[in-house]
Structure 1
Amino acid sequence: MPETPKDDPRIARARAAWQFRGQKRPDFAVEPGPDQESVWDYPRPPAIRPEPRPVRVISGAVTLADSIHAVRVCETGSPPTLYVPPQDVAMDLMTVSPTRSFCEWKGQARYFRLKGAAGSTTDIAWCYPDPLPGFEPHAGWICFYPGRVACFLDGERVIAQPGGYYGGWITADVVGPFKGEHGTSHW
């Protein structure tokens, strides 16, 4: 593999393939109201922003994560993904999954499942243990799928991003439409 992502033609092709990059909101985008933001104003490559609001993740009656140190990763067309530092996650309640994926911006992802749970074949979270340049300060930080465990941002129950693959956190302050809905693969 080449030394940097820009030297790797596969990564360069993946990064160049995106039609929207956050410079201009498309005509089909929902106009944000007061105290809202459009995912179409987020940049590509994604921006990493501090998240001062408390993040809490629960499975049944068990707290998996509780943090005031999360970051939001904001990428064009997707609701933010919230990454929590591992010290704020009950890592002893999860086990590493065999699932892997690759993001052209963040690198190789590792997934996690609940230990010993009936749904232990379902991935509930992921992280980038050895990320590409730009995401290194958040190596090993955990992001949870809000459609698979209960995720809360400042007490608001998060809605899952459509489609099942992406793990964006939809809250009342974010408008789309969102990548993952039918017919959005070219976004």
Structure 2
Amino acid sequence: MFRPKPIAPESGQESVWDYPRPPRLEATDKRIEIVFNGVTIADTQNAFRVLETSHPPTYYLPLEDIRQEYLIPSSRQTFCEWKGKGSYYTVKVGDKEASDVAWYYSTPTLDFAAIENYVAFYAAAMDDCYVNAEKVTPQPGNFYGGWVTSDVVGPFKGESGSWGW
């Protein structure tokens, strides 16, 4: 089995290989912005981030800082062994729509109770996502929802050859 070689973080960086498994939830006051079809649909400094070995952070935003008129409940549901049953939203702004691109946990597990009804977005489906004004790169692979910024180093789960990690 292939074993990834972690990239050594420089000053001010974090290695995703130092993140725990099971994942950890932590509050962040970094400014998170999401743009879809030219409209800023979310802007907050009250997010949480989930940190898990080999994954860049996934950001969860409070509903009150999201323009909810652009969220359409979806019938899609998934299950996370750490957070519980996830539900999804489709995002629609004007004539542009992206199905099942945001998710949340209405009754998360006890360890993740703080993100009840907070919403995470797949960066790849949005026009732009920002962390402290830095445009993020979506985590490789369509399954994962992490956001890559210059202060996080990998290699990242989702890259070619990472399925067995």
Q: TM-score, normalised by structure 2?
A: 0.92
Of 69, 72, 85, 2:62 maps to 85
> Identity of paired residues, percent?
41
The higher relative CO (CA closer than 8 Å, separation ≥ 6) is in 2
- In structure 1, the gaps of 5 or more residues are 1-25
Instruction: For residue 96 of structure 1, report the CA deviation from its aligned partner.
Output: 1.1
Aligned to 2:18: 41
Matched to 1:98, the amino acid is: S
- In structure 2, the gaps of 5 or more residues are none
Of 90, 114, 127, 1:137 maps to 114
Matched, 1:159 2:144: no
Output the CA distance in 2 between the equivalents of 1:90 and 1:177: 33
Matched, 1:171 2:130: no
Output the CA distance in 2 between the equivalents of 1:39 and 1:182: 17
Tell whether the 8 Å contact from 1:144 to 1:151 is kept in structure 2 after alignment: no
Higher Cα Rg: structure 1 or 2?
1
- What SS does the corresponding residue of 2:125 show, helix, strand or coil? coil
Tell whether the 8 Å contact from 1:85 to 1:141 is kept in structure 2 after alignment: yes
Aligned to 1:55: 32
Matched to 1:29, the amino acid is: P
What RMSD over aligned residues (CA atoms) do the two structures have, in Å?
Answer: 1.5
Matched, 1:29 2:2: no
Q: TM-score, normalised by structure 1?
A: 0.82
Instruction: For residue 122 of structure 1, report the CA deviation from its aligned partner.
Output: 2.4
Of 73, 76, 95, 2:50 maps to 73
